[in-house]
Amino acid sequence: MQVFYDKDSFSKYIDLQKEQNNMIGFAPTMGALHAGHISLYEEANKDNDIVISSIFVNPTQFNNAEDLEKYPRTVENDIEKLQNSKLVDAVYIPKVEDIYPNGMERKHYNFGGIENEMEGAARPGHFDGVGTVVEELFRQVRPDNAYFGEKDFQQLKIIEKLVDILNLGIKIHGVKIHREKNGLAMSSRNMRLSEAEKESSSVIYQTLKKVDDWFRVVTIPEIKSRVEEIFDRDDMVLEYFLIANEDTLKEADFFSEDENYRAFIVVNVDQVRLIDNMHLK
């Protein structure tokens, strides 16, 4: 596995892959890698000649400076995990100036309104930051296929829209949520939880499974009420729970038989923000 720390040497590597007509699969990360990230590269290996990872903690998608500062950075361990996986041909670890040569400014995108729902409402400008870094990485990596986890489902829809509005010609693949044995969705932020907090946080997944059982049996307002009761507790704070249309991401007050829905939840555990979601059958 080759490791690139600057844009120029990485660009020469990509030029060579393109000259050899190699199909490129790509999954960008912010590091602190776990089995969920590795599952992206397992998927990428099915469809591509070359698989590329990137590690870059993107400052412009953080609204909270403290959250950015506390975000785990474990680059040497990340490189070792990628090497041991034997799934990745190259990893790109750019400097800030490689991604933001003209200063750290977000571009502004019109994602058709999905950027204003859920995480967009809670974190203004977040998806402009996501779009800015992903567009730049796409232009540097020039992948044929790109892979993103469904844990960040809204981000996945944003990136699909980004590729569409910029006509980038990249196929976007959503990869199922990878979970701990207790059901907790794998996340780099889980590193900030104690073992006891990880165990108690399994209630998030258990709640989503209950929501799936309740869906189409009781009303959506009643489901929301039941979820709020579950999280009426001292050790975690429910930031939001909602059921939304999977395509528009608009919150639903009632369901229609011919539409697809997904439950979204955000819970804070000792100031660690945990997100999860589930397709509702």
So which residues are the catalytic ones? 37
Q: What is each CA distance from 165 to 112, 144, 172, in whole angstroms?
A: 10, 17, 14
Distance from C-alpha of 88 to C-alpha of 25, rounded to nearest angstrom: 9
Q: Are 107 and 60 in contact (CB under 8 A)?
A: no
Q: What is the DSSP letter of 176?
A: P
Question: How many CB atoms are closer than 10 A to CB 243?
Answer: 21
Name the CA dihedral angle for 115, 120, 126, 131, rounded to a multiple of 10 degrees.
Answer: -20
Q: Are 152 and 118 in contact (CB under 8 A)?
A: no
| Paired tokens of 278 | 């589930």
Distance from C-alpha of 89 to C-alpha of 35, rounded to nearest angstrom: 18
Which helix (H) or strand (E) is 171 found in, with range?
strand 171-175
Q: Crossing angle of helices 126-141/7-19, nearest 10°?
A: 60
* Residue whose pair of structure tokens reads 């990230």 in the numeric block: 37
∠ CA 11-138-163, nearest 5°, is: 155
Distance from C-alpha of 27 to C-alpha of 159, rounded to nearest angstrom: 12
